[in-house]
């Protein structure tokens, strides 16, 4: 089994199988700026987040539909009519619903039909995936591969959702797809706000052989997990999603939503491997997780989830409009 650390350029360090995306100019640029940034004062979370005026917002249609989905008096037709006010979102929702990931026996022709067949909870999680494409600007940036970012995030999401049904403490398995999708969202804001510092953090991680959070604290001043937590709180997302974003690098965590955050930790680690998984290496990851009960998922189930994610990732990306995207910086 080949493992990989997902870098800003899309380079998967140590990968021996699959496609490697690597932007040479971006790597050279990062090497040029690392020494210079070492002596600059760190960025603070308050400087990045402030009072929220400059933070990206979720689209109005997401807020309106989410409110309708939570309101039991809202009819399926009303929800469908609201979504269909945005043709682009409607197209992505229907492409996702009709993808092999959901395996519907017949074509779903309308959003209201999708709500009836899949339920409100599933539509809510499909919707957030459908609107994320437009939250951050998408002009070409040599510092970052948006496509590789979403490939990693969606693989994490698929693995987490596949395994969530094995964990009785997770009452909303569909929420784990969204948790996986959003776990690295802080990286998007950082690369948008301080791209050179993020490049320096990646170079520092490679040169010093440290983990990503240590590198970010050294070269940026804040971690993508802290930024993701603040951004998702600003968006008013559920606490479970916020906890997963904040703690997805923590194998030892005993706070709220412990099982969910451990599952995202596992899915995040597994998504950097190219199947087929090696049982011993998978067991080593599980051994790192405090109080992980193998009864949550067998090694065979974990291997299946990993392979399924590998098989489905590009279809889900295409359905959500996340193929061939790049991100711009200010």
Give the mean pLDDT of 38-45: 76
Give the C-alpha separation, 249 to 301, whole Å. 22
Label residue 19 by pLDDT band (50, 70, 90): very low
Please tell me whether residues 128 and 146 are part of one structural domain.
no
Q: Are residues 108 and 167 in the same domain?
A: no
| Whether residue 63 is found in the same domain as residue 87 | yes
170, pLDDT greater than 60: yes
Q: Does residue 208 share a domain with residue 96?
A: no
Residue 110 lies in a domain: yes
Looking at the fold, whether 256 and 151 belong to one and the same domain comes out as: yes
Last residue of a domain, one of 108, 134, 160: 134
Does residue 129 sit in the same domain as residue 35? Answer: no
d(CA 317, CA 268): 17
- Pair (208, 273) in one structural domain: yes
Same domain, 258 and 219: yes
If asked whether residues 297 and 244 sit together in one domain, one would say: yes
Asked if residue 75 belongs to a domain, the reply is yes
Give me the CATH number covering residue 146: 1.10.3210.10
Residues 240/257/172/238 CA torsion (nearest 10 deg): -10
Same domain? For 24 and 67 the reply is no
pLDDT category of residue 138 using cuts at 50, 70 and 90 = low
The residues with which 274 forms a beta bridge, in sequence order, are 2
Q: Is 248 within the bounds of a domain?
A: yes
Average pLDDT over residues 3-18: 43
**Is residue 275 situated within a structural domain?**
yes
Is it the case that residue 163 has pLDDT exceeding 70?
yes
Report, as an integer, the average pLDDT of 217-228: 96
Q: 93, 112, 134: which is the final residue of a domain?
A: 134
Quick check: is 268 in a domain?
yes
Please say which residue of 112, 134, 156 terminates a domain: 134
Please check whether residues 233 and 164 belong to one and the same domain.
yes
Identify the domain containing residue 130 by its residue range: 58-134
90-94, 134-138, 146-150, 249-253: least confident range:
134-138
- Do 37 and 153 sit in the same domain of this protein? yes
pLDDT of residue 289: 85
Measured CA to CA in angstroms, residue 51 lies from 55, 57, 294, 317 at distances of 9, 13, 43, 33
Specify if 330 maps to a domain.
Answer: no
For the chain, counts of helices (H) and of strands (E): 17, 4
User: What is the tally of structural domains in the chain?
Assistant: 2
Residue 310, beta-bridge partner list? none
């Amino acid at each position: 089994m080949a493992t990989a650390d997902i870098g800003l350029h899309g380079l998967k360090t140590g990968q021996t199988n699959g496609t490697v995306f690597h932007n040479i100019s971006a790597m050279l640029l990062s090497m040029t700026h690392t020494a210079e940034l070492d002596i600059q004062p760190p960025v603070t979370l308050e400087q990045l987040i402030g009072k929220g005026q400059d933070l990206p917002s979720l689209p109005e249609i997401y807020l309106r539909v989410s409110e309708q989905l939570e309101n039991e008096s809202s009819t399926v037709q009303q929800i469908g009519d609201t979504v269909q006010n945005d043709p682009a979102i409607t197209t992505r929702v229907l492409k996702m619903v009709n993808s092999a990931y959901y395996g519907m026996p017949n074509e779903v022709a309308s959003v209201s039909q999708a709500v009836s067949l899949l339920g409100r909870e599933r539509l809510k999680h499909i919707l957030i995936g459908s609107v994320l494409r437009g939250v951050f600007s998408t002009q070409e940036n040599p510092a970052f591969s948006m496509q590789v970012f979403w490939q990693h995030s969606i693989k994490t999401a698929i693995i987490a959702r596949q395994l969530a049904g094995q964990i009785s403490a997770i009452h909303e398995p569909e929420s784990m797809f969204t948790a996986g999708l959003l776990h690295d969202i802080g990286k998007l804001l950082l690369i948008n706000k301080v791209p050179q510092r993020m490049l320096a953090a990646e170079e520092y991680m490679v040169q010093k052989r440290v983990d990503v959070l240590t590198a970010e604290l050294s070269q940026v001043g804040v971690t993508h997990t802290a930024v993701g937590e603040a951004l998702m709180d600003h968006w008013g997302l559920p606490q479970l999603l916020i906890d997963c974003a904040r703690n997805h690098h923590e194998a030892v965590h005993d706070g709220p939503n412990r099982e969910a955050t451990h599952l995202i930790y596992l899915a995040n680690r597994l998504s950097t491997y190219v199947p087929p998984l090696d049982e011993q290496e998978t067991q080593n990851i599980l051994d790192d997780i405090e109080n992980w009960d193998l009864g949550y998922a067998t090694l065979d189930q974990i291997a299946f989830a990993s392979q399924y994610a590998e098989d489905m990732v590009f279809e889900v990306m295409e359905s959500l409009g996340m193929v061939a995207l790049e991100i711009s910086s200010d």
